[in-house]
Each structure stands twice: as structure tokens, then as C-alpha cells.
Structure 1
Amino acid sequence: MAAQPTCFQEADPRLALWRRAGVEGAGTFFLMLAAGGGGIAAARVFAAVPGMILPITAIVIASALVALIVALGSVSGGHYNPLITMLQWLAGERSRGCTIAYMLAQFAGGLAGGIAAALLWGAPVGGAGGFGWHGIASEFVASAGLMLVVFGCMRSKRVETGPFAVGAWLIAAVIALPTTSFANPAIVLGAAVSAGPVALGGASLVPYVGAEIVGALLALLLLLLLFPRGAEA
């Protein structure tokens, strides 16, 4: 019997790795461009109503991610996030070579997207140094929640709902958490060289990424308990 298709997995893993990794790089680039550019635009348009900046930024980020997953996900799986790729490797669902290629492409895309957003808007690069322990805890929670949504959809074989579930979670997490829920090491890297509300100071890079990795690993442990091997829906 043929395996039932699932989301966040490429439709044809035999497709050349450079093509699949290229899609991951391009998708991460456009995701970071939308996050950075959307934040700058919202800050300028709603300068007199600062309370609107965060929800508008959340909608922009979630919309871009859903669109990119739906449009390109069949080629690469539509991760655009090293955490997803890393957990698939740890779960034995992706080879080491593919994992390395995807993650390199994702980091390169995030970096380029952050720079492009600042250049296109002519905005000064740089942001706050972070939120201390509150920021680290925020990224831990954001990453754990995102991975639970992503892999919960994968294990449930809900192919069509995966992108929209991720988008819905991101809108909620961006608004609810103090760091605007990066939950993505490639986007954190891009934010460190970008501008506007999503920009981060370099001091946030290591602690935020560390918190995201730990949050993702916790999510993997929970997923192993919730979806034991052979018991997926």
C-alpha cells in the first residue's frame, strides 16, 4: 500500500537536492523579506496608532508563510525553518545530507531577506538587544508551540490544513509573545541584519536560537508521547 501523503514533506524526494534546497532558500528569503518589510511598513503607516503595528505585522508574516508553503511546499516540504528540518532528521525522516543542504539554504535565505528588507525600505539596520530572560522564555515557548502544530499536522496526515494551522498559530504567537515569536533560527539571523520592529540586536542571536532549539526538542519529546510510532491517524 502506498504511503499516505503528509504535509511538510516533499512530493518527490528523488528530485535533485539542489532544487529542493533552492526552494527552501528562496522561501526563507521571501518569508524574512515579508517579516522585515511588513514591520517597517506597518510602523510607518500606523506611526500615530502604534497598537496596530503588531497585529498587522502578524498578519503579514502568517500570510506570507501560508502562501509560500502552499505554492512551493510540494517541491521541498515548505519548511523555511531549520527547526523543522532538524526535527525531521532526528526523527529519522530526512537524511543528514539533505538536512545540511536545507539548513544552509535556509540560513542563507534568512540573511539575504533581512538585508533586502532594510535596503528596499532604506531603513537603518539594527534593533534592540532583546528582552533578557523574558525574550529567551518567549522563544522557547514559541518554538515548542510551532513544532507541535507542524508535526501534529504531519502525524495526523492533514495535508491541506497544515499550512493554515501554522499560519493561525503564528498570528496568535506573534501577538501574544513579547518577542513576536520568531521561532526560527534563520529568521533570527535575518532579523539581526534587518530593520524595523522585527530587527534584533546581535546580542539576542545566540540566546534566542538556543532557546528555540531547546523548545523544539521538548516538542519532539511530547510528539513521541502523543503520536507513538505506528499510531498516527
Structure 2
Amino acid sequence: MIHWKRYLSEFVGTAALFCTVIGSGIMAEQLAGGNVAVALLANTLATVFALYVLIETLGPVSGAHFNPVVSLVMAYRKDLARHHLFGYVLAQLAGAAVGAWVAHAMFELEILQWSTKVRTGPSQWLAEAVATAGLLFVILRSPEGKASSLVACYIGAAYWFTASTSFANPAAAFGRMFTDTFAGISPADVPAFIVAQIVGGFIGLMLHSLLNSEHQRSH
């Protein structure tokens, strides 16, 4: 596989995903008439559908990570060549920012903006660790050919059972700091989210490994 195709896949997929997240958040907020629950439900459904489609269409090219923690864990496991890790992460971060700007352009908003939405505190950080641990656990334990549906379903559920609405992705935190809309996060709150996500990702890997060890010992 030519390397640039992998990076382009990660860039396009991450841009499309976060254009969906931010764009659907803008549309939902405009149409929900102040009902935050309805807006979040609309945002969730759009994200779930887009995530399934993007994993199905781009998975054969790059693995459809769209998430630096996923790439980091895969490189740690040697499922991703480690010399690809920097290119993957760079493509994902760039894609997340571009996705935000495209969403703004479609809704005739100012393209360049910073979020003022505060998302901080121990409960939010714990939520991000839990959300990301669950995501990596689902990815690593998905039967062959079922990752797209299982990951999409998990993210849809995690929107609602986590206090943070489940960013579960450093690229999400990075991209969403560029939008002062429904999906945004204040730049000052991004570093703590990313730390929690990295910790959560490796907790998910540890849980997966422990279950594999138990399975191996029982046979």
C-alpha cells in the first residue's frame, strides 16, 4: 500500500467525521428550539451513521482509525507500522480542523473561530477515560467484519452514558476547539481531555489483553 493513500484516507475520513459532528450539531441547535436533548439526539444519530459509512468505505485503505489514540495503541501492538504513526496522527489532526472549517462554511458561519464552551473537571476527565477505554476495547474485540457496526453503536451509546458526550478521541478535542458551536470545547480544556483519552485507551488495551490471557489459560 502506497503510504500517501493511507494518510489521505485518514485525513478525509477524520475531516468527514468531524464535519458531520460539528455540522449536525449546528443544524440540530438551529432546529431543536432550545431543547438540548433533541439536539444531542440528532447529533448522535448523524455521527453514528457517518462513522459506520466511513469505517466501511475507508477501512480497507488505512484501517479507518480517525483517532490518534487508536493509532497509538495499534502501533504499540505492532498492528500499525510505527513509522506510519506520525503521518496518521498529523493527517487526523489536520482533518479534524478542516472538518470544522467546512462545517462553518456550509452554515455561513465565520470560518476561523475558537470555542468558549467549558468542558472541565474530574467527572469530565473520568468520562473521557471511560469512553476511550470502551472504544479501544470494542475495536480490539470486534469479530472480523463487524467493527464498523459495533464501533458506531458504541459511540452512539457513549454520547448518552458519559458526562462528556464521549469525545474519546484527541482529534475530536483538537478539531472541536475550532468551533464555538454546539460541539465545541474550550482550547484550555483540550490538554486534560487528551491525557484522559490516552490513559483510557491503554486501559482498554489492558482489559482486552487480560481477557485474552484468561481465554488462553482456560483452554
Equivalent residue in structure 2 for 1:120, among 106, 111, 115: 106
Q: CA deviation at 1:140?
A: 0.8
CA distance in 1, matches of 2:53, 2:35: 28
| Structure 1 unaligned regions, length at least 5 | 1-14
Q: CA deviation at 1:167?
A: 0.7
RMSD, aligned α-carbons:
1.7
CA distance in 1, matches of 2:187, 2:68: 19
CA distance in 2, matches of 1:132, 1:113: 27
2:47 equivalent to 1:61: yes
2:128 equivalent to 1:139: yes
| Partner residue in 1 for 2:14 | 28
Any runs of at least 4 consecutive aligned residues in structure 1 with deviations exceeding 4 A, and if so which? none
Which runs of structure 2 are paired with 1:1-233 in the superposition (5 Å)?
Answer: 15-123=1-109, 125=113, 126-153=115-142, 158-228=143-213
Asked if the contact 2:20–2:47 (Cα under 8 Å) also holds between the matched residues in 1, the reply is yes
Q: Aligned pairs, how many?
A: 213
More helix per residue: 2
% identical equivalent positions: 28
CA distance in 2, matches of 1:62, 1:127: 26
Secondary structure of the corresponding residue to residue 93 of structure 1: coil
- What letter corresponds to residue 55 of structure 1 in structure 2? L
Q: CA deviation at 1:83?
A: 1.1
CA distance in 2, matches of 1:167, 1:220: 19
Q: What is the TM-score with the length of structure 2 in the denominator?
A: 0.92
Secondary structure of the corresponding residue to residue 216 of structure 1: helix
Q: CA deviation at 1:120?
A: 2.3
Q: CA deviation at 1:229?
A: 11
Q: What is the TM-score with the length of structure 1 in the denominator?
A: 0.87
